[in-house]
Structure 1
Amino acid sequence: MANVLETFRSGSVYHQVTCVLLWIYLAHSQKVVVFQPSFLTTTGPAVSAFLLGNISDVSLELRTVSPSNTTGTVGPPSCVTEPTRWILTGEQMGKDAVRVQLRLNQSMRICGENDTAGDCCSEKLCVLEALQVSACVGGSPLASLLIQATIHARLFPNNSGHDNKTVIPNQVYQPLGSCPCDLTLRVCDVRCCCDKDCSSEDVKLFASLCLLGPFGGQVSPAPDYQCSQQSAENSPDWFPFLCVHSPPENNPYLGLFYNGDTISPRSGPSFQRPTLSAPVPVNLYVQGSPIMTSSNQYFSIPQRVLGQCVNGAPVAFLKNFKVECVTLLSSCPVGAPFQTRPADLSAQVMNGRGGDVVVVVTDVIDTDLSQVISGSSAGVSAAGRLECENVTLALDYKIFWKGNGITGITLTRTVGTIISNASVVLTTRYSAVFLNGEQMAEANSGNPGYQVGRPVHAGIMDNNSDSIERTTVNLWKPVQDGLCSTAEKRAILFGENSTSGCLLPVRQQDLFQCDLLRETVSNLQAALIIPTYVAKKGNPESSTLTDWLNISTVTLNSSTTVEGTSGACAGIPSHQYIYVWSLITSLVDGSPQREILDLQIGYSLSTWALDCGGGDFTSCEETQLFPITSSVTFIDIPVNVGPPKTRFQINFTEYDCNRNDVCWPELAFPFTKYYTGEPYSQSLAKGMILVFFFITASILGTPWRQIRQVWHSAAL
Structure 2
Amino acid sequence: MANTLGLFLSRVFVPRHVSCVMLFISLAHTQNLAVFQPSRLTATGPEVRALLLGHTADTSLTLRPVFPSNTTGLIGSPSCINSVTQWEVTTEQAGKNAVWVQLRLGKNLRLCSKNETDTDCCPKLLCVLETLQVSACVGGTPRASLLIQAKIHALLVPANAGSDNKTILPNQVYQPLGSCPCDLTFRACDVRCCCDKDCSIEEVKLFAAHCLPGPFGGQAPATPGYQCSEQSSAISPDWFPFLCVNSPPENNPYLGLFYQGDTITSEPGPSFQSPVWSAPLPVRAYIQGSAILSLNDQHFTIPQKGLGQCVNNAPVAFLENFNVNCVTILRSCPAGLPLQTRPTDLSITLKDGKGGYVAVDVIDEVAIDMSLFISNTLDDGLLCENVTLALDYTFYWKGNGITSVTLTRTVGTITLNTSLALTTRYSAVFLNGGLMSEPNSGNPGYQVGRPVIAGTLDTWDNNTGSVQRTSLNVWKPVSDGLCSTTGMKPVLFGENSTSGCLLPVSRQNLTQCDLLRDAVTSLQAALITATYVAKSGNPDPLIMTDWVNISFVTLNSSTTMNDTPSSCSGVPSHQHIHVLSLITGMVEGRPQRDIRAVLVSYTLSPWALDCGGGDVSPCMDPLETKLFPITSSVTFTDIPINTGPPKTRFQVNFTEYDCNRNDVCWPELGFPMTKYYTGEPYSQSLAKGLILVFFFIIASILGTPWRLIRQAWT
Do Structure 1 and Structure 2 share a fold, with TM-score over 0.5? yes
- 230, 240, 248: which is aligned to 1:119? 230
Answer yes or no: is the 8 Å Cα contact 1:108–1:121 preserved in 2.
no
- 650, 661, 672: which is aligned to 1:669? 672
Q: Match of 1:638?
A: 640
Answer yes or no: is the 8 Å Cα contact 2:672–2:689 preserved in 1.
no
Q: Match of 1:50?
A: none
Separation in structure 2 between the aligned mates of residue 439 and residue 505 of structure 1, nearest angstrom: 40
**1:381-396 equivalence runs, <5 A:** 381=381, 383=382, 386=383, 388-396=384-392
**1:256-655 equivalence runs, <5 A:** 279-280=280-281, 282-329=283-330, 332-375=333-376, 380-381=380-381, 383=382, 386=383, 388-418=384-414, 425-464=421-460, 466-562=465-561, 564-613=563-612, 618-619=619-620, 622-650=624-652
Q: State the shift of 1:667 in Å.
A: 2.7
Separation in structure 2 between the aligned mates of residue 149 and residue 162 of structure 1, nearest angstrom: 22
Moved more, 631-640 or 289-298: 289-298
Separation in structure 2 between the aligned mates of residue 654 and residue 618 of structure 1, nearest angstrom: 69
Helix, strand or coil: the match of 2:474? strand
Q: Match of 2:50?
A: none
Q: How many corresponding residue pairs?
A: 468
User: Residues 654 and 518 (structure 1 numbering): CA distance in 2 closer, same or farther, change over 3 Å?
Assistant: closer
* Letter of the structure 2 residue corresponding to residue 601 of structure 1: V
Asked which structure has the greater CA Rg, the reply is 1
Q: State the shift of 1:502 in Å.
A: 0.4
Answer yes or no: is the 8 Å Cα contact 1:476–1:500 preserved in 2.
yes
Q: Match of 1:691?
A: 697
Q: State the shift of 1:685 in Å.
A: 3.8
Separation in structure 2 between the aligned mates of residue 518 and residue 671 of structure 1, nearest angstrom: 71
Q: Match of 1:153?
A: 244
What TM-score does the superposition give when structure 2 sets the normalisation length?
Answer: 0.58
Separation in structure 1 between the aligned mates of residue 376 and residue 391 of structure 2, nearest angstrom: 23
Separation in structure 1 between the aligned mates of residue 674 and residue 458 of structure 2, nearest angstrom: 72
User: Residues 655 and 152 (structure 1 numbering): CA distance in 2 closer, same or farther, change over 3 Å?
Assistant: same
Answer yes or no: is the 8 Å Cα contact 1:610–1:620 preserved in 2.
no
Separation in structure 1 between the aligned mates of residue 691 and residue 524 of structure 2, nearest angstrom: 82
Q: State the shift of 1:661 in Å.
A: 2.8
Answer yes or no: is the 8 Å Cα contact 1:302–1:309 preserved in 2.
yes
The one-character-per-residue Cα deviations of 1:647-705 (angstroms, maximum 9, x if unpaired) are 44445556555547362574362698857699987764443132245568899689999
Separation in structure 2 between the aligned mates of residue 427 and residue 570 of structure 1, nearest angstrom: 38
* Letter of the structure 1 residue corresponding to residue 626 of structure 2: Q
Q: State the shift of 1:150 in Å.
A: 8.7
User: Residues 510 and 106 (structure 1 numbering): CA distance in 2 closer, same or farther, change over 3 Å?
Assistant: closer
Q: State the shift of 1:633 in Å.
A: 1.0
Separation in structure 1 between the aligned mates of residue 621 and residue 611 of structure 2, nearest angstrom: 5
Separation in structure 2 between the aligned mates of residue 670 and residue 467 of structure 1, nearest angstrom: 65
What TM-score does the superposition give when structure 1 sets the normalisation length?
Answer: 0.57
Helix, strand or coil: the match of 1:290? coil
Say which structure, 1 or 2, has more relative contact order (CA 8 Å, 6+ apart).
Answer: 2
Helix, strand or coil: the match of 2:370? coil
Q: State the shift of 1:285 in Å.
A: 2.9
Answer yes or no: is the 8 Å Cα contact 2:350–2:357 preserved in 1.
yes
Separation in structure 2 between the aligned mates of residue 157 and residue 462 of structure 1, nearest angstrom: 76
Separation in structure 2 between the aligned mates of residue 336 and residue 700 of structure 1, nearest angstrom: 103
* Letter of the structure 2 residue corresponding to residue 347 of structure 1: I
Answer yes or no: is the 8 Å Cα contact 1:375–1:423 preserved in 2.
no
* Letter of the structure 1 residue corresponding to residue 670 of structure 2: L
The one-character-per-residue Cα deviations of 1:180-201 (angstroms, maximum 9, x if unpaired) are xxxxxxxxxxxxxxxxxxxxxx
User: Residues 109 and 534 (structure 1 numbering): CA distance in 2 closer, same or farther, change over 3 Å?
Assistant: same
Helix, strand or coil: the match of 2:363? strand
* Letter of the structure 1 residue corresponding to residue 639 of structure 2: I
Helix, strand or coil: the match of 1:522? helix
Q: State the shift of 1:471 in Å.
A: 1.5
Answer yes or no: is the 8 Å Cα contact 1:127–1:150 preserved in 2.
no
Separation in structure 2 between the aligned mates of residue 645 and residue 155 of structure 1, nearest angstrom: 73
User: Residues 671 and 551 (structure 1 numbering): CA distance in 2 closer, same or farther, change over 3 Å?
Assistant: closer
- Any gaps of 5 or more consecutive residues in structure 1? 1-103, 111-117, 131-147, 165-268, 710-716
Separation in structure 2 between the aligned mates of residue 593 and residue 306 of structure 1, nearest angstrom: 28
User: Residues 507 and 422 (structure 1 numbering): CA distance in 2 closer, same or farther, change over 3 Å?
Assistant: farther
Helix, strand or coil: the match of 1:687? helix
Separation in structure 2 between the aligned mates of residue 651 and residue 309 of structure 1, nearest angstrom: 57
Answer yes or no: is the 8 Å Cα contact 1:127–1:149 preserved in 2.
no
* Letter of the structure 2 residue corresponding to residue 645 of structure 1: K
Moved more, 674-683 or 564-573: 674-683
Separation in structure 2 between the aligned mates of residue 665 and residue 343 of structure 1, nearest angstrom: 82
Answer yes or no: is the 8 Å Cα contact 1:561–1:570 preserved in 2.
no
* Letter of the structure 1 residue corresponding to residue 522 of structure 2: N
Q: State the shift of 1:157 in Å.
A: 9.4
User: Residues 293 and 676 (structure 1 numbering): CA distance in 2 closer, same or farther, change over 3 Å?
Assistant: closer
Answer yes or no: is the 8 Å Cα contact 1:339–1:391 preserved in 2.
yes
Helix, strand or coil: the match of 2:558? helix
Aligned-pair Cα RMSD in Å: 4.1
* Letter of the structure 2 residue corresponding to residue 152 of structure 1: L
The one-character-per-residue Cα deviations of 1:294-336 (angstroms, maximum 9, x if unpaired) are 1333322222333333333332222211122334556554443
Answer yes or no: is the 8 Å Cα contact 1:612–1:619 preserved in 2.
no
Q: What percent of counterpart residues are identical?
A: 53
Separation in structure 2 between the aligned mates of residue 510 and residue 328 of structure 1, nearest angstrom: 36
Answer yes or no: is the 8 Å Cα contact 2:465–2:542 preserved in 1.
yes
Q: Match of 1:137?
A: none
Q: State the shift of 1:628 in Å.
A: 0.3
User: Residues 637 and 675 (structure 1 numbering): CA distance in 2 closer, same or farther, change over 3 Å?
Assistant: closer
Answer yes or no: is the 8 Å Cα contact 2:295–2:349 preserved in 1.
yes
User: Residues 366 and 654 (structure 1 numbering): CA distance in 2 closer, same or farther, change over 3 Å?
Assistant: closer
Answer yes or no: is the 8 Å Cα contact 2:377–2:415 preserved in 1.
no
Helix, strand or coil: the match of 1:558? coil
* Letter of the structure 1 residue corresponding to residue 465 of structure 2: D
User: Residues 109 and 660 (structure 1 numbering): CA distance in 2 closer, same or farther, change over 3 Å?
Assistant: closer
